[in-house]
Structure 1
Amino acid sequence: MDTNVQSGPPADTVGLSQDRPGRHLMRRIIIDTDPGIDDAIALLLLCAADSVRIDGVTTVGGNVDLDLVTANTLTVLELAGRTDVPVYPGAGRSSTDGREPSADVHGVDGLGGLGRTAAAMRARDTPAVDFLTAHAAAHPGEVTLLPIGPLTNIAAAVEADPAFVENVASVVLMGGAEGAGNMTPSAEFNLWYDPRAADVVFSAGFADLIMVGLDATRQADLAPGVGELLRLLDTPVSRFIHAITRSYVDVAFAAHGRLACDLHDPLAAAFLLDPAVIATVPADVSITVDGEHEGRSVVTRTAGVPGATANARVATGADTARFYRVLLTTLFPESVDVIERVVAHEYR
Structure 2
Amino acid sequence: MPGRPVPVIMDCDTGVDDALALLFAVRHPGIELRAVTCVAGNTDVDGVVRNTLTVLEQAGAPEIPVARGAERPLLEPARPATHVHGTDGMADLGLPAPARRPAEVDAVTLLRREILASPRPVTLIPTAPLTNIALLLRTHPEVTRNIERIVFMGGAVEVGNATPVAEFNVWHDPEAAAVLLTAGVPITMYGLDVFRQVVVEAEEVHRLRASGDRGARLAGELLAHRPAAQGEPPEAEEAGGLGDAGAVCAVADPGGLTTRPLPVEVSLAPGPGRGQTIVDRRPRPGEAEIHHGERERALIDVALAVDAARYTRLYLETVGRP
State the TM-score, normalizing by the size of structure 2.
Answer: 0.88
Any idea what SS the aligned residue of 2:204 has?
A: helix
Q: Aligned to 1:174, which of 153, 159, 171?
A: 153
Which stretch shifts more, 90-99 or 212-221?
90-99
Match in the other structure for 2:165: 186
Q: Give, in angstroms, the shift of residue 189 of structure 1.
A: 0.5
Aligned position for 1:33: 12
Instruction: Measure the CA separation in 1 of the matches of 2:94 and 2:43.
Output: 11
Q: Which amino acid aligns with 2:229?
A: F
Query: What amino acid maps onto 1:213 in structure 2?
Result: G
Q: CA, structure 1 residues 301+46, in 2 after alignment: closer, same or farther (shift >3 Å)? A: same
Question: Which residue does the alignment assign to 2:304?
Answer: 316
* Aligned with 2:206 (options 211, 223, 228): 228
CA 96–263 in structure 1, closer or farther in 2 if over 3 Å, else same: farther
After superposition, residues 63-142 of structure 1 pair within 5 angstroms as 63-114=42-93, 116-139=95-118, 142=121
Aligned in 2, Cα 1:75/1:277: closer, same or farther, shift over 3 Å? same
5 Å-filtered alignment, 1:1-348, equals 25-114=4-93, 116-139=95-118, 142-206=121-185, 208-248=186-226, 250=227, 252-253=228-229, 259=237, 260-291=239-270, 292-301=272-281, 311-333=299-321
Q: Which amino acid letter does the alignment assign opposite residue 274 of structure 2?
A: E
**TM-superposed deviation, 1:41:** 0.8
SS state at 1:321 partner = helix
How well do the aligned residues superpose, as a CA RMSD in angstroms? 2.4
Distance 2:284 2:278 in 1: 18
Distance 1:139 1:304 in 2: 41
Cα distance in 1 for partners of 2:118, 2:282 equals 32
Give the match's secondary structure for 1:61. Answer: coil
Following superposition, the deviation at residue 191 of structure 1 comes to 0.4
1:86-137 per-position Cα deviation (integer Å, ceiling 9, x unaligned): 1111111111324410001000101101255211100011111011123223
Q: 1:238 is matched by which residue type in structure 2?
A: A
Paired-residue identity, %: 36
* Alpha-carbon contact 1:205-1:311 (below 8 Å) kept: no
Comparing 296-305 with 217-226, greater Cα deviation is found at: 296-305
Query: Does the residue aligned with 1:282 lie in a helix, a strand or coil?
Result: strand
2: CA distance between counterparts of 1:256 and 1:94?
A: 35
> In 1, are the aligned partners of 2:264 and 2:280 still within 8 Å (CA)?
yes
What code does the residue aligned with 1:293 have? G
Distance 2:268 2:225 in 1: 32
Residue type at the aligned position of 1:296: Q
CA contact 1:282–1:301 (8 Å) conserved in 2: no
* Amino acid corresponding to residue 311 of structure 1 in structure 2: L
TM-fit CA distance, 1:140 = 7.3
Cα 1:72/1:254, change in 2 over 3 Å:
farther
Contact 1:109–1:116 (CA<8 Å) still a contact in 2?
A: no
Give the match's secondary structure for 2:129: coil
Matched positions, count: 308
Q: Deviations over 1:189-227 (max 9, x none)?
A: 000010010000012222x10010011111112322222
In 2, distance between residues paired with 1:310 and 1:100? 27
Change (3 A) 1:239 1:26: closer
- Work out the CA distance in 2 between the residues paired with 1:179 and 1:140: 39
- How far apart are the structure 1 equivalents of 2:297 and 2:13? 32
Counterpart of 2:305, as a letter, is: G
- Assess if the C-alpha contact under 8 Å between 1:72 and 1:115 holds in 2: no
Quickly say closer, same or farther: Cα 1:139–1:247, change in 2 above 3 A.
closer
